[in-house]
Chains A and B, each alone.
Chain A
Amino acid sequence: MRKIVALTFGLLCTGAAHAQVDTVRATTLPPDQLAEKLYNSGVAKYNQKSYRAALLDFDKALATKPEFAKAYYNRATTRYELQEYQPAVQDYDHAIQLEPTGTSYFGRGQAREALKLRDEAEQDYTKATELQAGYAPAWYYRGALRFEKADYQAARADFDQAIKTDPTYAYAYHDRGSTQRQLGNYAAAIQDYTKALVLQPDLLPALLNRAATRRRAGDLKAALVDYNEYLTKKTDNAVAYSNRGATRYEAGDYQGAADDFSKAVALQAGYAFAWNNRAAAYLKLEDYKKAADDASKAIALNPQYAEAYLNRGHAREMLRDAGGACQDWRKAAELGLEIGKTYAANSGCNGE
Chain B
Amino acid sequence: MQRPLDLRVPTSANRWGKLALTLCGFLLTLTTQAQNVEFSKDRFGNDKEGLKTAQRELKEGDGWYDMDPSRYELALPHYLAAQKFNPDNAQLNLKIGDCYLHSGFKPKALAYLQKAYKLNPDVDPTIHYLLGRGLHLNARWPEAIKEYKAAQPNASSKDKAAWAADIQKKIKECENGQQLTRKPARVFIDNAGAGVNSPYPDYGPVISADESVILFTSRRATSTGGQKDPETGGFFEDIYQSTRLPNGQWSSALNLGAPINTDGHDATVGLSPDGQRLVVYVEDNGGDLHESELRGTEWRKPQKLGSRINSRGHESSAAYSPDGRTLYFVTDKEGGLGGRDIYRVQPEGRGPAQNLGPIINTPYGEEGVYLHPDGKTMYFSSEGHNSMGGYDIFKSVYENGQWGKPENLGWPINTPDDDVFFVISASGRHGYYSSFREDGLGSKDIYQITFLGPEKPPVLSQEDQLLASRAQPVKETLLAAAVPIATAQVTILKGTVTDDMTHQPVEATIEVVDNVLNQTIAAFRANAQSGRYLVSLPSGVNYGIVVRQDGYLFYSENFDVPAGAAYAEVVKDIALKKADLGVKVVLNNIFFDFGKATLRPESTAELERLQKLLAEAPTLRLEISGHTDNVGKADYNQDLSQRRAKAVVDYLTQHGVDSNRLTAAGYGDTQPVAPNTTDGGRQLNRRTEFKITGK
Residues on A lying within 8 angstroms of B by beta carbon are: 1, 140-141, 144, 147-148, 170-171, 174-175, 178, 181-182, 196, 203, 205-206, 208-209, 212, 239, 242-243, 246, 249-250, 272-273, 276-277, 279-281, 283-284, 291, 307, 310-311, 313-314, 317, 320, 337, 339, 342-343, 345-348
Q: Is the CB of A249 within 8 A of B469?
A: no
Q: Is the CB of A170 within 8 A of B468?
A: yes
Q: A346-B485, A347-B452 are in contact. Are A208 and B464 (CB under 8 A)?
A: yes
Q: A346-B453, A347-B453 are in contact. Are A273 and B463 (CB under 8 A)?
A: yes
Q: A276-B460, A279-B458, A314-B458 are in contact. Are A320 and B470 (CB under 8 A)?
A: no
Query: Of all chain A residues, which has the CB nearest B566?
Result: A345
Query: Of all chain A residues, which has the CB nearest B427?
Result: A348
In angstroms, how far is the closest chain B Cβ from the Cβ of A351? Answer: 11
Option from A171, A182, A272, A279 in Cβ contact (under 8 Å) with B469: A171
Q: Is the CB of A277 within 8 A of B470?
A: no
**Distance of A154 Cα from B468 Cα, bound (Å):** 18
Q: A339-B482, A348-B429 are in contact. Are A280 and B460 (CB under 8 A)?
A: yes
Q: Is the CB of B466 within 8 A of A337?
A: no
B487 at the interface (CB under 8 A from A): yes
Option from B452, B463, B470, B478 in Cβ contact (under 8 Å) with A317: B452
Option from A1, A208, A281 in Cβ contact (under 8 Å) with B465: A208
Query: Of all chain B residues, which has the CB nearest A211?
Result: B464
In angstroms, how far is the closest chain B Cβ from the Cβ of A306? Answer: 8
Query: Knowing that A178-B467, A239-B463, A277-B460 are A-B contacts, what are 6 other residue pairs whose CB atoms are under 8 Å apart, sorted by A's residue number?
Result: A140-B469, A144-B467, A273-B461, A314-B458, A317-B456, A337-B459
Q: Which residues of A contact B459 (CB under 8 A)?
A: 276, 280, 307, 310-311, 337
Q: Which residues of B contact A182 (CB under 8 A)?
A: 466
Q: Which residues of B contact A250 (CB under 8 A)?
A: 478
B477 at the interface (CB under 8 A from A): yes
Q: Is the CB of B466 within 8 A of A307?
A: no
Among all A-B residue pairs, the 3 with the closest Cβ atoms: A280-B458, A178-B466, A171-B468
Query: Of all chain A residues, which has the CB nearest B248?
Result: A322
| Interface 0/1 of B425-455, CB less than 8 Å to A | 0010100000000000000000000001100
Q: Which residues of B contact A181 (CB under 8 A)?
A: 466
Q: Which residues of A contact B188 (CB under 8 A)?
A: 320
Q: Which residues of A contact B466 (CB under 8 A)?
A: 147, 175, 178, 181-182, 209
Option from A144, A196, A273, A310 in Cβ contact (under 8 Å) with B462: A273
Q: Which residues of A contact B469 (CB under 8 A)?
A: 1, 140-141, 144, 171, 175
B473 at the interface (CB under 8 A from A): yes
Q: Which residues of B contact A346 (CB under 8 A)?
A: 453, 485, 487, 566
Q: A141-B469, A320-B188, A346-B453 are in contact. Are A246 and B464 (CB under 8 A)?
A: no
Q: Is the CB of A342 within 8 A of B485?
A: yes
**Distance of A272 Cα from B460 Cα, bound (Å):** 11
19 A-B residue contacts at CB 8 Å?
A141-B469, A144-B467, A144-B469, A144-B470, A147-B466, A148-B467, A148-B470, A174-B467, A203-B468, A208-B464, A209-B466, A239-B463, A246-B462, A273-B461, A276-B459, A280-B458, A345-B566, A346-B566, A347-B429
In angstroms, how far is the closest chain B Cβ from the Cβ of A170? Answer: 7
Q: Which residues of B contact A242 (CB under 8 A)?
A: 462
**Distance of A343 Cα from B456 Cα, bound (Å):** 8
Q: Is the CB of B477 within 8 A of A307?
A: yes
Number of interface residues of B (CB under 8 A): 27
Q: A246-B478, A307-B477, A343-B456 are in contact. Are A175 and B461 (CB under 8 A)?
A: no
Q: Which residues of B contact A314 (CB under 8 A)?
A: 456, 458
Option from A205, A280, A348 in Cβ contact (under 8 Å) with B468: A205
Q: Which residues of B contact A212 (CB under 8 A)?
A: 462, 464
**Distance of A340 Cα from B470 Cα, bound (Å):** 34
**Distance of A279 Cα from B460 Cα, bound (Å):** 9
In angstroms, how far is the closest chain B Cβ from the Cβ of A326? Answer: 13
**Distance of A205 Cα from B453 Cα, bound (Å):** 41
Q: Which residues of B contact A140 (CB under 8 A)?
A: 469
| Interface 0/1 of B519-556, CB less than 8 Å to A | 00000000000000000000000000000000000000
Q: Which residues of A contact B452 (CB under 8 A)?
A: 317, 347
**Distance of A147 Cα from B474 Cα, bound (Å):** 11
**Distance of A21 Cα from B468 Cα, bound (Å):** 26
**Distance of A283 Cα from B460 Cα, bound (Å):** 11
In angstroms, how far is the closest chain A Cβ from the Cβ of B695? Answer: 44
**Distance of A249 Cα from B566 Cα, bound (Å):** 33
Q: Which residues of A contact B464 (CB under 8 A)?
A: 208-209, 212, 243
Q: Which of A175, A206, A342 has the most CB of B within 10 A?
A: A342
In angstroms, how far is the closest chain B Cβ from the Cβ of A201? Answer: 14
Q: Which residues of A contact B467 (CB under 8 A)?
A: 144, 147-148, 174-175, 178
**Distance of A272 Cα from B467 Cα, bound (Å):** 22
In angstroms, how far is the closest chain A Cβ from the Cβ of B408? Answer: 22
Q: Which residues of B contact A175 (CB under 8 A)?
A: 466-469
**Distance of A242 Cα from B465 Cα, bound (Å):** 13
Q: Which residues of A contact B485 (CB under 8 A)?
A: 342, 346
Q: A175-B468, A239-B473 are in contact. Are A342 and B482 (CB under 8 A)?
A: yes
**Distance of A314 Cα from B457 Cα, bound (Å):** 8
Query: Of all chain A residues, which has the CB nearest B477?
Result: A307
Q: Which residues of A contact B566 (CB under 8 A)?
A: 345-346
In angstroms, how far is the closest chain A Cβ from the Cβ of B666? Answer: 39
**Distance of A310 Cα from B456 Cα, bound (Å):** 9
**Distance of A171 Cα from B466 Cα, bound (Å):** 11
Q: Which residues of A contact B427 (CB under 8 A)?
A: 348
Option from B429, B460, B465, B468 in Cβ contact (under 8 Å) with A307: B460
**Distance of A170 Cα from B468 Cα, bound (Å):** 9
Query: Of all chain B residues, which has the CB nearest A208?
Result: B464
**Distance of A337 Cα from B456 Cα, bound (Å):** 13
**Distance of A205 Cα from B464 Cα, bound (Å):** 8
**Distance of A196 Cα from B566 Cα, bound (Å):** 53
In angstroms, how far is the closest chain B Cβ from the Cβ of A232? Answer: 19
Q: Name B592-645 residues within 8 Å CB distance of A.
A: none
**Distance of A83 Cα from B462 Cα, bound (Å):** 31
Q: Which residues of B contact A337 (CB under 8 A)?
A: 459, 479
In angstroms, how far is the closest chain B Cβ from the Cβ of A244? Answer: 10
In angstroms, how far is the closest chain A Cβ from the Cβ of B490? Answer: 14
Query: Of all chain B residues, which has the CB nearest A280?
Result: B458
In angstroms, how far is the closest chain B Cβ from the Cβ of A282? Answer: 9
Option from B461, B465, B479 in Cβ contact (under 8 Å) with A277: B461
Q: Which of B453, B463, B464, B473 has the most CB of A within 10 A?
A: B464
**Distance of A208 Cα from B468 Cα, bound (Å):** 11
Q: Which residues of B contact A281 (CB under 8 A)?
A: 458
In angstroms, how far is the closest chain B Cβ from the Cβ of A82? Answer: 19
| Interface 0/1 of B471-505, CB less than 8 Å to A | 00100011100100101000000000000000000
In angstroms, how far is the closest chain B Cβ from the Cβ of A106? Answer: 14
**Distance of A144 Cα from B469 Cα, bound (Å):** 8
**Distance of A291 Cα from B458 Cα, bound (Å):** 10
In angstroms, how far is the closest chain B Cβ from the Cβ of A174? Answer: 4
